[in-house]
Structure 1
Amino acid sequence: MSLIDPLSSKLSSYLEPNQVKKVIRAYRFAEQCHQGQYRQSGDPYITHPVAVAHILADMHMDHESLMASLLHDVIEDTSATKGQISRRFGKTVAELVDGVSKLTEIEFSSKAEQQAENFQKMTLAMAKDIRVVLVKLADRLHNMRTLGVLNPKKKRRIARETLEIYAPIAQRLGMNDIRVEFEELGFDALHPLRSRRMREARKAARGHRTELLSEIKQTIELELSKEKIDNEVSGREKHLWSIYQKMVQKKKSFKEIMDVFAFRIVVDSVDNCYRVLGLIHNLFKPVPGEFKDYIAIPKSNGYQSLHTVLVGMHGVPIEVQIRTRDMDAMANYGIAAHWLYKASDDETPLSTHSRAGRWVQGLLELQQHAGNPLEFIEHVKTDLFPDEIYVFTPKGKIIELPSGATPVDFAYAVHTDVGNRCIACELDGHLASLSEPLQSGQKVRIITAKSAQPNPTWLNFVITAKARSAVRHFLKKQEHQESVTLGKKLLDRALENFGSSYPEIRKSWVKRLLKATDAPSFEFVLQQIGLGERMAFAVANLMLPPSKRKKEQANIGSPVLLDTNETMLISYGRCCRPIPGDPILGHLSSGRGLVIHRESCGNLANIRNNLEKSMPVKWSPQVKGEFPVECQIEVISERGIVATLAARITEQDATIDQISISDQSVQLSTIKVLVGVRDRIHLANILRRIRSLSAVRRVTRIKN
């Protein structure tokens, strides 16, 4: 019997005859393309696409998805092209196949980068057509089912990728059956010994539980039949990966986790869901704080159900899920239920489809902000959270966020501009920290300011991919703008040495420079100068006509003026901590821009006379900001001396960033303080106030 016959029979149950014929045509083409190719198991290669098509047929997917599943490897593994597929089977099928195909033409620096690039390509294709990911999940599922023939190293790599990326995607799309199978197969391949031991332990535990499970089930069914509620009650067995994860995360033993009994009650209407909840709460005592209503507020993947935990007979905990038949299909098939419902002419659950669409649009936004594929996949991993909280905007709109999200995550979930301009927040009407984790049910109000901008410290506590990627994108953009601005200043100073200036640059000079450096644009060169990756003098020499060039760099007389401490491309040496009023010198450090030191700093010994690396700098008369300076104070040990010192420093409108104490002897102590000051005069006033204390023996500024 041909491979296509069982598939054709399955498809005839829900597809039109002409659609089944199109699928058979795709099979014939794929069979011809893969002729002579074999899988590592020794089976003809065509068995793999057919198995993928069977998985999708079980979900009642449409004929185009099935055609794409049969053709999904022909571009990558055979001489067939996207154009050929488009001409034979239509543009839609060709786009689906291309979205699933891996990138094979490009050389990648690492396997990780290749996988990230593949996923990024698949995401772009998903944005056009969500069916791409369904074909990809079915492809991965069959590969996981046939993992046994691979070598252990490759098996572990594929299993880890499945557990980290594909199982969470299946969960995001509400496809619980596929997620569970991914996790079980992935666990077997990644930890074969642990998996085997736990399977044996579960089997042994099952024997002791059967009687009790049956007793609880009968009690529930009897109670529901009295109320004439049509129902299906089933005992749910926890799958191994879930048990293993709970053992690791909660540090619990296998016995503690297996002591929980889980039941699912499926009824015919939403009203009956709530009636059943009341009945079982009368039957067994509910555990406070463990009730969750995912019918009123569905999860972001469209999952709907009532969850409750009860104390059953003999004091055993019972987890119960109550849902309708439609909700049960949605929980198992997720977004694929969209096609299942269409096939049966029932009401189409478009909400799940639109939720999936919103998630994919979110991925697209991340992809645009990410600097490279590896950064993108890191963002996606952080966004695939199974646990969610639900908070309210001031107008009562519900916002879904991952567990542990902060007000900054909330602000970015509302809109990127709200996140970028966020300065404070109110939780239930009270001011709260921007880093405070949110709790379900809170009302969140974000306070914004037009002049505000993202703070780099937010990256330490934001957890949603959108917030993390938006902050990083802003900082990269800011760094780019600052490096270009600094590059212009440095090039202007260098051109002065040749009797020219930045405004006098001609187009012919820029063309000459770009030809000599192979740089993509003049702005790129300015950025490199600002980051310290190109010397301004060398760039000026390349730009100018040969008659104006110089062999050696002369002293650049006009210094760069520093007017603030708040810039990403100008940093201040922590070795000598310069402050306004100190004689200073700058040196260009690759990737860091301009680093400012005191002229007397010992670390400048090898740089001071290197005119390519050092840069004359000067404090602007209008310099603003607080600059850290370190002081050492020798004091006679007495009670309350640290508090007295702190009071003297704050009296002078200075901030203490750090303080440390060490004992020299029984009578003497050394106190080191890091103080934020405006300039040398401000520092002198602080030191004068400290010296006036009778317990102070000596005060010095630490120079290196």
Structure 2
Amino acid sequence: MMRQYELVDRVRRYNPHADEELLDRAYVYAMKAHGVQKRASGDPYFSHPLEVAAILTELKLDDATIVAAVLHDTIEDTDSTQEEIDKLFGPEIGRLVEGLTKLKRLDLVSKRAVQAENFRKLLLAIADDVRVLLVKLADRLHNMRTLHFVPPEKRERIAQETLDIYAPLAGRMGMQSMRNELEDLAFRHLMPDASASIGKRLNDLKRKNGKIIAKVEQELSDLLSAQGIEASVEGRQKQPYSVWRKMERKSVAFEQLSDIFGFRVYVNTVEECYRAVGVIHTKWPAVPGRFKDYISTPKENDYRSIHTTVVGPGRQRVELQVRTHDMHEIARYGIAAHALYKDGGVDDREVLAHESRAYQWLQRTIDMLAEGDSPEEFLEHTKLELFHDQVFCFTPKGQIIALPRGATPIDFAYAVHTKIGNSCVGAKINGRAAPLAAPLVNGDEVEIIRAEGQVPPPVWESLVMTGKARAAIRRATRDAVRAQYTGLGRQIVVRAFERAGKPFAEDKLKAALPRLARASIDDVLAAVGRGEIFSGDVVKAVYPDFSEERKLGPQPPLPPPSESGWFGLPKGSSLVFKFPESGENKTGPIPIYGLRGDLPVRFAPNGGAVPGDRIVAILTPGEHITIYPIQSPDLTAFDDQPERWLDVRWDLDAGKRNLFPARILVTAINEPGTLGIIATALGDMGANIDTISFNAISPDFREIIIDVEVPDLKHLNGLITELRTKPVVSKVERVNG
């Protein structure tokens, strides 16, 4: 355990004017307060706050922060009080200890709602003084270093929390060294086998390439020195967790990684950074697309450096980072490297906000707390911010909305409110109409155009970047589909009760729910709509004495589509009939380029093809040519016969109306009048019906396969959309045989 004089010596190494008396008082007070308390390792509990303070001395923080670290567990774990800390050590240290006490009471790995609310409290606790976060991160780092003493079930929870919350927070504050160690310690406990395997391979690689690394370091140093640039060069190796994450993200093997080793070049001035890059690029060719200038455009966490990759000695790719010594301090220690934390001037928040982009991000996030919705949504949103670069956009009223880079107006709408996202039909960016898929950039003012009753299409899920938007779209889609099935099921059930001569009443159906093994009336109706429950079984559940005779014998023929009526077919049976041909000229030439004129032309027998489809032709030598849409699964039968494939395309005459074959599959309610509704809809849309076949898939539903003739793909899609609006229709899709 660290001695009293050792703590003072650590602080005085970087701060000769440290308040020795204050540090001594804090040491003695905390030691007495914790008394005989023990940690899980068996060590005196007082050793923990001392180690936290030691970590903070490596960051060269001010006296007040070091003292707060020594005292950070006294209020929570001993008889000490806030008033006593304020009296003995002053209000500044008292506020820091109070903030740390609040954080210790949080349980970020509890149930989601509690976790979200606690994360909100965490950010509020560090709003007044970011030094609270620095002590908390050091506290977590020491706990992770001793995590092997904790029971296994608790160990996994703490490691996951570290990977989800604290390591990204350290990265957002620019504290890359601490982030790397937190990630690797968590990785070691969460995936011990993967961690050990990657660690062993990294060590083997280091032993194998040690001489090459030393050679590159020397060549770089000599090269820059010859040009009058005072520089130091350091080889570096990726951390195990960083290697594993890249392997997972890019789906590559360890051997395929080219940037496990890299080099850092440290110089004195910004000008020398650019000079050094010029010298290096003159000596070795640069790899195109691998140059990034984070000096002129720093990262959100204050990181500044120039990254480049060259083809170096031995034709090996060499990754280089060129930065000043001051930039390296920021890269290692982040917000803790700012002078305000060294000189005791931490009350000058305006200076810190001006100096640090990381501090600006933290303040913006905290400012958004009052504008958020539920704690869960805030947690999801903030977690995204921890992992992605941000863009900041505005509502027309000036509210700031922060989103991941690449987010769209749809993300923006859901970030404002889920109801706004669900009802979104369009957007204006900076006063001009814009596509909903347009990526947003910093400073955009976004106005969402809404329409009540709008349901977000499922395709939106592939356009959005935020988890909140994806979850809301999936939920709205599920609700819309369920509402459709519920409405369809209600229609089927009501008519089933009418056919049985029984009154339909929801209260009676509710009483019968246990017999139907469903929790609610809507669950029953949705199940009927999906075909999972037969409507007659619902009637029987409400009226147990009811008995329905189901006809299983041959059924009478179907009437023509102009007459109303559709008689049920027994399960597994089918019926096909063909309508008279229309007056269209089917014997004229087919308008397709690329055909051979000596053979007759046909369309795909299981679905046809229409203008608007991408098409190919298959030659049957000596017999005919068949036109298929490119998406037809039947084409797989010809994969090993490339000599039969012909390149063709449509050759349409705008002045002539030709009809082309297509097939659609309709799943509809099995009741009189259904066929009439469908046939009338097809006729109203100008489609010519060629043949219809029926399959009985359940007592309540029939599949209708309809071969139609339409002028083009647009007309066919409109026809399908129109059929989907009919209350007797459950599903419509095109068939590509």
* TM-score bucket (shorter structure): 0.5 to 0.7
State how far apart, in whole Å, the 2-side matches of 1:575 and 1:602 are.
Answer: 15
State how far apart, in whole Å, the 2-side matches of 1:118 and 1:336 are.
Answer: 24
Q: Within 5 A, what are the aligned runs for 1:344-423?
A: 350-351=353-354, 353-362=356-365, 365=368, 369=372, 371-372=374-375, 376-385=378-387, 388=389, 402=404, 405-409=407-411, 423=425
Q: Within 5 A, what are the aligned runs for 1:253-402?
A: 253-257=253-257, 260-339=260-339, 342-343=342-343, 350-351=353-354, 353-362=356-365, 365=368, 369=372, 371-372=374-375, 376-385=378-387, 388=389, 402=404
Contact 1:425/1:445 (<8 A) preserved:
no
Matched with 2:238 is 238
Distance 1:220 1:405, change over 3 A: farther
Question: How far apart are 1:102 and its partner, in Å?
Answer: 5.8
Q: Within 5 A, what are the aligned runs for 1:521-532?
A: none
Q: Within 5 A, what are the aligned runs for 1:588-667?
A: 601-602=535-536, 605=539, 639=603
Question: How far apart are 1:326 and its partner, in Å?
Answer: 1.9
State how far apart, in whole Å, the 2-side matches of 1:182 and 1:328 are.
Answer: 19
Question: How far apart are 1:179 and its partner, in Å?
Answer: 0.9
State how far apart, in whole Å, the 2-side matches of 1:129 and 1:280 are.
Answer: 43
Contact 1:266/1:322 (<8 A) preserved:
yes
State how far apart, in whole Å, the 2-side matches of 1:361 and 1:86 are.
Answer: 30
Letter in 1 for 2:368: E
What is the CA deviation profile of residues 525-566 of structure 1, one whole-angstrom value per residue up to 9, with x for unaligned ones? Answer: xxxxxxxxxxxxxxxxxxxxxxxxxxxxxxxxxxxxxxxx99
State how far apart, in whole Å, the 2-side matches of 1:95 and 1:609 are.
Answer: 70
State how far apart, in whole Å, the 1-side matches of 2:228 and 2:417 are.
Answer: 49
State how far apart, in whole Å, the 1-side matches of 2:285 and 2:402 are.
Answer: 30
Letter in 2 for 1:75: I
The answer to whether 1:576 aligns with 2:489 is yes
State how far apart, in whole Å, the 2-side matches of 1:361 and 1:63 are.
Answer: 28
Matched with 1:121 is 121
Matched with 1:188 is 188
SS at match of 1:148: helix
State how far apart, in whole Å, the 1-side matches of 2:537 and 2:378 are.
Answer: 39
Letter in 2 for 1:251: S
Contact 2:267/2:323 (<8 A) preserved:
yes
| Range moving further from structure 2, 96-105 or 324-333 | 96-105
State how far apart, in whole Å, the 1-side matches of 2:201 and 2:171 are.
Answer: 27
Letter in 1 for 2:134: L
The percent of aligned pairs where both chains have the same amino acid is: 35
**TM-score when scaled to structure 1?**
0.65
The answer to whether 1:57 aligns with 2:57 is yes
Q: Within 5 A, what are the aligned runs for 1:431-510?
A: 434-435=436-437, 448-449=448-449, 455=456, 461-464=463-466
State how far apart, in whole Å, the 2-side matches of 1:298 and 1:110 are.
Answer: 36
SS at match of 1:384: helix
* Aligned-pair Cα RMSD in Å: 5.4
State how far apart, in whole Å, the 1-side matches of 2:218 and 2:106 are.
Answer: 61
State how far apart, in whole Å, the 2-side matches of 1:206 and 1:358 are.
Answer: 38
Question: How far apart are 1:603 and its partner, in Å?
Answer: 7.0
Unaligned residue ranges in structure 1 (runs of 5+): 394-398, 477-564, 611-630, 648-659, 663-668
The correspondence for 1:685, drawn from 673, 680, 683, is: 680
SS at match of 1:449: strand
Question: How far apart are 1:42 and its partner, in Å?
Answer: 1.9
SS at match of 2:387: coil
State how far apart, in whole Å, the 2-side matches of 1:104 and 1:400 are.
Answer: 28
Letter in 2 for 1:605: V
State how far apart, in whole Å, the 2-side matches of 1:265 and 1:461 are.
Answer: 41
Letter in 1 for 2:362: W
Contact 1:123/1:360 (<8 A) preserved:
no
Q: Within 5 A, what are the aligned runs for 1:510-529?
A: none
Structure with larger Rg? 2
Question: How far apart are 1:171 and its partner, in Å?
Answer: 0.8
Distance 1:286 1:155, change over 3 A: same
State how far apart, in whole Å, the 2-side matches of 1:230 and 1:142 are.
Answer: 37
Contact 1:99/1:121 (<8 A) preserved:
no
SS at match of 1:286: coil
Letter in 1 for 2:680: N
Distance 1:123 1:430, change over 3 A: closer
SS at match of 1:605: helix
The correspondence for 2:665, drawn from 664, 672, 679, is: 672
State how far apart, in whole Å, the 1-side matches of 2:108 and 2:247 are.
Answer: 38
State how far apart, in whole Å, the 1-side matches of 2:455 and 2:63 are.
Answer: 48
Question: How far apart are 1:573 and its partner, in Å?
Answer: 1.0
What is the CA deviation profile of residues 483-523 of structure 1, one whole-angstrom value per residue up to 9, with x for unaligned ones? Answer: xxxxxxxxxxxxxxxxxxxxxxxxxxxxxxxxxxxxxxxxx
**TM-score when scaled to structure 2?**
0.62
Q: Within 5 A, what are the aligned runs for 1:34-73?
A: 34-73=34-73
What is the CA deviation profile of residues 347-371 of structure 1, one whole-angstrom value per residue up to 9, with x for unaligned ones? Answer: 9764563533433542563686353
Matched with 2:169 is 169
State how far apart, in whole Å, the 2-side matches of 1:211 and 1:227 are.
Answer: 25
Tell me the matched-pair count: 568
State how far apart, in whole Å, the 2-side matches of 1:111 and 1:5 are.
Answer: 44
What is the CA deviation profile of residues 361-412 of structure 1, one whole-angstrom value per residue up to 9, with x for unaligned ones? Answer: 4256368635355x654444333215x488999xxxxx99646644544678
Distance 1:698 1:291, change over 3 A: same
The answer to whether 1:5 aligns with 2:8 is no
Contact 2:167/2:182 (<8 A) preserved:
yes
State how far apart, in whole Å, the 1-side matches of 2:443 and 2:378 are.
Answer: 31
Question: How far apart are 1:207 and its partner, in Å?
Answer: 2.6
Distance 1:42 1:258, change over 3 A: farther
Matched with 1:695 is 691
What is the CA deviation profile of residues 440-487 of structure 1, one whole-angstrom value per residue up to 9, with x for unaligned ones? Answer: x99989674366899485566533468679x69xx99xxxxxxxxxxx
State how far apart, in whole Å, the 1-side matches of 2:253 and 2:84 are.
Answer: 57
Unaligned residue ranges in structure 2 (runs of 5+): 395-400, 499-503, 511-517, 545-567, 579-601, 612-631, 635-661, 702-737
State how far apart, in whole Å, the 2-side matches of 1:149 and 1:423 are.
Answer: 55
SS at match of 1:263: strand
Letter in 2 for 1:673: V
Letter in 1 for 2:279: L
Question: How far apart are 1:289 and its partner, in Å?
Answer: 1.4
Contact 1:127/1:361 (<8 A) preserved:
no
Contact 2:380/2:468 (<8 A) preserved:
no
Letter in 1 for 2:178: I
Letter in 1 for 2:666: V
Letter in 1 for 2:539: A
Question: How far apart are 1:54 and its partner, in Å?
Answer: 1.6
Matched with 1:208 is 208
What is the CA deviation profile of residues 593-612 of structure 1, one whole-angstrom value per residue up to 9, with x for unaligned ones? Answer: 899789995575378799xx
Contact 1:409/1:467 (<8 A) preserved:
yes
State how far apart, in whole Å, the 2-side matches of 1:247 and 1:107 are.
Answer: 32
What is the CA deviation profile of residues 288-319 of structure 1, one whole-angstrom value per residue up to 9, with x for unaligned ones? Answer: 11211212221111111111122222221111
